[in-house]
Every structure is written in structure tokens, then in C-alpha cells.
Amino acid sequence: MAEHNTEYFQAKLKAFGTLSAPWYTNEKMTREANLAFDHAKADVEFVLDKYRAERLQQLDRIVNKTCYKNKKYNFLQAQKCDEYHFENDYKLGVINAFTADHVWRYKTEYENCTKTDEFKALKTTLEKDQVYQACHDKFMDQCKEGIKNDLSARAKEIFESSD
């Protein structure tokens, strides 16, 4: 009887590895990836804060000279001039949109791991789990240092080379 049960369970285990069962992403890994991604975005924003502060100082000088020291403007007109400069400054807009404009590709690459034809062609849950684990590990490595380093270098290239 025990030998029969062992054969039965071995057959079930063998079948489990060959059946095409519905596959779902691991919820814990997805949460971990989202937290790591949010942390990487915060790191990039921290780097951008330097450029944002520098630009705000530049704008303060520009606004002071062109709006408040302009004898043609009364105080209300000078305030409107001030608002206009801060709301429509191209460089400040680029700095503020930098993270959203650049980090999406990392997240999209991660999310597309399970949408490829190669992934869909995998037969077993185990194979899908292994491919997803490799993709998840790569993404986590990128989140730890890659995203911050890549985007910090890109921000430096963009914002330190221009006035």
C-alpha cells in the first residue's frame, strides 16, 4: 500500500511539472519590487533637489531684477510677473518632470517580463517562476544602484552643462 501511494504521489509531482497551470506573479515579489522602485525614484529626486534649488535661486535673481526692480511695474504687476516666471520656466519644468520622464522604462521592462512570447510559451509553472525570478532579481539590482547611478549621471549631463 505504501509503495502504491509513493508511486501515486510521484506521478502527481511529475504531472505538476508538466501541466500548464495558470500562472500568477508572486504578490510578495511584486510588493518588494514596487517598494524598491519607489525608493529608487526617491533617490533620483534627492539628486534632482540640488538642481531644483539652484534653478529656484537663479529664478529668484531673474524675477528680482526683471519684475520687482522694474520701475514700470507696480507691486501687483510685479507679483504677476513673478508668478509667470515660476509657472512657465522651462528648465524648472524639465527638472520637475525628469523622474517621470526617465524611470518609466525600468518599470516597463520589469512589467513586460511576463508579457513576452517566450514567457508565454513556457509550459510549466516552475519554468515561469524561474524566468520571473531572474527578471525580478535583475530589476532589484537595478533598483539598488543602477537607476540612481544612470539617472544621476544623466541629470548631471543635462543640468550642469546648461545655464
The CA radius of gyration of the chain, in Å to the nearest whole number, is 27
Q: What is the mean pLDDT of residues 10-17?
A: 60
pTM (2 d.p.): 0.71
Q: What is the mean pLDDT of residues 133-151?
A: 89
Among 27-31, 63-67, 131-135, 144-148, name the one with the lowest average pLDDT.
144-148
Query: Which pLDDT score is estimated for 124?
Result: 86
What residue type is assigned to position 91 of the chain?
K
C-alpha dihedral sign at 64, 69, 75, 80:
negative
45-83: pLDDT as tens digits = 999 999 999 999 999 999 999 999 988 999 999 999 999
8 — pLDDT class (breaks 50, 70, 90): low
By percentage, how much of the chain surpasses pLDDT 70?
85
Tell me the C-alpha distance between 15 and 156, whole Å.
55
128 CB-side CA count, 13 A: 21
